[in-house]
Chain A
Amino acid sequence: MPNESESDVRLSAHLAESFAALRAGDAQDAPEFSAMFAAARQQAAAVATVQLVSPEHTYKQTYTMPRTLRSQWRRVALLVGAPLLTAAGIGAVWLNAGRRAEREFEQTVMAWSETSRQSLRAPTDGLLSLPGDEYLRSTPTIGRGARSGS
C-alpha cells in the first residue's frame, strides 16, 4: 500500500489532469468575449440610466438592474427600519411596564385607604359624639375663644 505522501502526489497529479480536462471543456463553452463585453456595456449603461432617474419610474422600464435597485432599496429600508422598530417596541414594553407598576401601587393604596376609612366609621362612633367634646380635644388659647380658633 502506498504511503501518504505518495498517495498525495498521485491525487494531486490526478486532480491537475482532471482540472486540465475541465479547463479545456470550459474553453470550448466560454461565450465570445467581444459579444459579452458589448452586452455588459449595455447593461452598465442601463445601470447608469437607472441611477439618474428616480427608481419609481424606472423599475418596470429596464430589464435587469431594477431588481438590483429594488433589492438595494429593500436592504436600506430594512437596515434603517429594523432598528427603529426594535427600539420602538422595546420603548413601548418599557413604558407599559412602568405604568403597570404605578397602577398596581395606586390600586394597593386605594384599597388600604378604603379599609382605613371604613374602620374609622364604626356604627357605634355616633355614641362617642357628645355635645361640646371639641373642648376636650383642643387646648384653649388664653385671650381667644375655643370655638373661634382664631
Chain B
Amino acid sequence: MALPAPVPFDLESSLATLHEASFGWARSCCGGDADEGADVLQTAYAKLIAGQAVFAGRSSFRTWLFGVIRLTALETRRKRTRDLSAPEWTEAHSVEPMAVVQLEEAEQTATLQAALVQLPDRQREVVHLVFYQGLSVAEAADVMELSVGSARVHYDRAKKRLRALLEPHFREDR
C-alpha cells in the first residue's frame, strides 16, 4: 500500500503568518533598530529561500524561524563590528542613537526600550521571547540554543533587573 504523499510545506504562507512577530524579534535582536531589523529579516528569508537553512520539523516552525533570525542578526552584528574599521562604513552608517528616540510617541514603550537596552543580550532575548512573543521559557531556551535551566536563570535575572529599572513607573500605574 502506497504511503500518502507528504504535504508540501508552504514556506511563504508560513512566513507571512509570522511576519510581524518575526520583524519584532529581528528588531529586538538588533537593539531596537527597525531598519537593521528589516535587513536581518530579509537576509533570514533569503537564507530560507536559498535552502541555506532547512526546517526539519524537530521543533515548532516559529521556534526554528526565530533561531534562524537570531543567528542572522548575530552574523550581521559580527560583520558590522568587523567593518567598523572601514572608513566608508562609518561615513555611510554614522552611529545613530538607539531606537528609543523613535519611540518617544509612546512613553511606556520608550521606557521599556530604555530598560531593555540596559539588559545583557541573553536577558533581553529571553524577556522578549516570553513577554512579546508569548513563548514559554523552554521554547525560548530552544530559540536561544540554551538549556532550560540557563534560560530560567537569565529570565529571573532579567525580571529582577527590570523590576529595579521599571519599579518607579509601574508604581505610578497603581
CB of A48 to closest CB in B, whole Å = 6
Q: Is the CB of A14 within 8 A of B109?
A: no
Q: Which of these, B15, B127, B159, B167, contacts A37 with CB under 8 Å?
A: B15
* 4 additional contacts (CB under 8 A) given A44-B46, A47-B46: A18-B112, A18-B166, A29-B27, A48-B50
Q: Is the CB of A44 within 8 A of B159?
A: no
Q: Is the CB of A31 within 8 A of B23?
A: yes
Q: Is the CB of A21 within 8 A of B108?
A: yes
Q: Which of these, B15, B132, B159, B174, contacts A23 with CB under 8 Å?
A: B132
Which of A3-11, A96-104, A110-118, A129-137 forms part of the interface with chain B?
A3-11
CB of A138 to closest CB in B, whole Å = 85
**Considering the complex, which residues of chain A in the window 6-65 have a beta carbon less than 8 Å from any beta carbon of chain B?**
7-8, 10-19, 21-23, 25-27, 29-31, 33, 36-37, 39-41, 43-44, 47-48, 64
Q: Is the CB of B49 within 8 A of A26?
A: no
Q: Is the CB of A18 within 8 A of B15?
A: no
Residues of A within 8 A of B (CB): 7-8, 10-19, 21-23, 25-27, 29-31, 33, 36-37, 39-41, 43-44, 47-48, 64, 67-68, 71
Q: Is the CB of B132 within 8 A of A19?
A: yes
CB of A131 to closest CB in B, whole Å = 90
Q: Is the CB of A36 within 8 A of B42?
A: yes
Q: Is the CB of B27 within 8 A of A26?
A: yes
CB of A21 to closest CB in B, whole Å = 5
In the complex, the chain A residue whose C-beta lies closest to that of B52 is A47
Q: Which of these, B79, B109, B162, B163, contacts A22 with CB under 8 Å?
A: B109
Alpha-carbon distance between A12 and B111 when the two chains are bound, in angstroms? 15
Q: Is the CB of A31 within 8 A of B113?
A: no
Alpha-carbon distance between A26 and B29 when the two chains are bound, in angstroms? 13
In the complex, the chain B residue whose C-beta lies closest to that of A29 is B34
Q: Is the CB of B108 within 8 A of A31?
A: no
Within 8 Å CB of A13, what residues of B? Answer: 170
Q: Is the CB of B15 within 8 A of A44?
A: no
- B54: CB under 8 A from chain A? no
8 closest A-B pairs by CB: A40-B45, A14-B170, A43-B46, A44-B50, A44-B49, A18-B112, A30-B23, A26-B24
Within 8 Å CB of A10, what residues of B? Answer: 170, 174
Knowing A11-B163, A30-B19, A44-B50 are in contact, say whether A25-B45 is a contact too (CB < 8 A).
Answer: no
